[in-house]
Amino acid sequence: MVLLSPTVRALEVLLHMCEEYVKSHGLTYNVKESVIMVFRAAGGKLPSYVPPIKISNIELERVYQYKYLGHFVSADLKDLMDFERERRALAVRCNMVVRRFARCSEQVKILLFKSYCQVFYTCSLWTNYTHRAISALRVQYNNGFRMLLGLPPFCSASGMFAQARTDDFYAIMRKKSASLLCRLRASSSPILKTIARRIDSPFMRQLFSPRF
């Protein structure tokens, strides 16, 4: 469960409501698995001091990055940690497919590549990253495809994907960003709809980014 609050005081009120609920239902919070994170405001700095936040009179640990539902969230709102997580996961998946299915036909290999190596979990949430981070992930994706099909290291990436009728890295990013935007706009939540319809929203910038 995630609680979002604009102030410490508001967060304390939310936590008090949660504590009253669990008490009335005979439950307890696992304080060891609970943490707090303070996000940096746009153009601002992270506060050096935050008043103690407690559950069941036990102070919660303040963290600056946290893996939630498989996605790394950081206090500076940057996605570099999650880029690195996905790059490493992609390397593992590509090596597994190359090693286990080396004797399969090219058609089967391409199908396996699409199934295992085009996942890019939560990539549609990436909005704050560097050119170096996205280039490293793109190179990992291209090299995995080359290794699987036994292509030369420096062959044209656009040419090999076109010949195999397979989406390249940028096509996957655009499709996943567009899919998320469509789901947000179709949501019953007025908050999500408002975010999705803003021209200056991070999702719109992501979708029409020249890097994609």
Q: What percent of the chain has pLDDT over 70?
A: 95
Is pLDDT of 211 > 90? no
The CA distance from 114 to 119, in Å, is 8
The CA distance from 43 to 25, in Å, is 43
Kindly report, residue by residue over 126-171, the tens digit of the pLDDT: 988 899 999 999 999 999 999 999 999 889 999 999 999 999 999 9
- The mean predicted confidence, pLDDT, of the chain is 90
The CA distance from 179 to 175, in Å, is 6
Which amino acid makes up residue 175?
Answer: K
Closest CA to 196 of 182, 179, 176: 182
Taken as a whole, the chain contains a residue count of: 212
**Mean pLDDT throughout 13-39?**
91
Token pair 């506060």: residue: 47
Please, which residues have CB within 8 angstroms of residue 98's CB and are 6 or more apart in sequence?
Answer: 144, 147, 148
Residue ranges covered by each domain of the chain: 8-63, 80-207
The CA distance from 100 to 86, in Å, is 21
End-to-end CA, the chain: 33
CA atoms within 13 A on the CB side of 25: 9
**Mean pLDDT throughout 180-193?**
88
Please, which residues have CB within 8 angstroms of residue 74's CB and are 6 or more apart in sequence?
Answer: 64, 65, 80, 81
Kindly report, residue by residue over 69-111, the tens digit of the pLDDT: 999 999 988 999 999 999 999 999 999 999 999 999 999 999 9
Please report the DSSP string for 64-132 in residue order. SEEEETTEEEETT---HHHHHHHHHHHHHHHHHHHHHSTTS-HHHHHHHHHHHHS--TTGGG--S--HH
The CA distance from 46 to 25, in Å, is 37
